Amino acid sequence: MAEIRIDSSGLTFTKFSVSGHSPDLVDGAGVPVLALAPGVYGIEQVPGRPARFEFQVTQEGIVAYDAAQVG
């Protein structure tokens, strides 16, 4: 499992869930640490709606994402 931090403190709405990890909302203003197994995940700010940002945790524990999603 990779331990990653997701900082959403700069957003208006700082709470999110990580699809494939937990449906519960996490407050990213406190930059929480999430333990994630290798796989593809999505950040959801509205539970049940499709993820607007997807990322992958590799076997090596590296977070990879398509830079075209940023912006």
**Phi, psi of 9, rounded to the nearest 5 degrees:** -60, -25
Which contacts (CB < 8 Å, 24+ apart) does range 51-58 have? 51/19, 57/2, 57/4
Question: Which tokens is 49 given?
Answer: 């709606």
Read off the pLDDT of residues 28-61 as tens digits, 9 standing for 90 and up.
999 999 999 999 998 888 777 777 789 999 999 9
Q: What is the pLDDT of residue 9?
A: 92
Q: What is the pLDDT of residue 7?
A: 92
Which contacts (CB < 8 Å, 24+ apart) does range 63-71 have? 63/2, 63/4
| Percent share of the chain, pLDDT over 70 | 97
Q: What is the pLDDT of residue 11?
A: 87
Q: What is the pLDDT of residue 50?
A: 74
Dihedral (CA of 38, 10, 44, 33) sign: positive
Average pLDDT, the chain: 88
Q: Where exactly are the structural domains of the chain?
A: 2-69
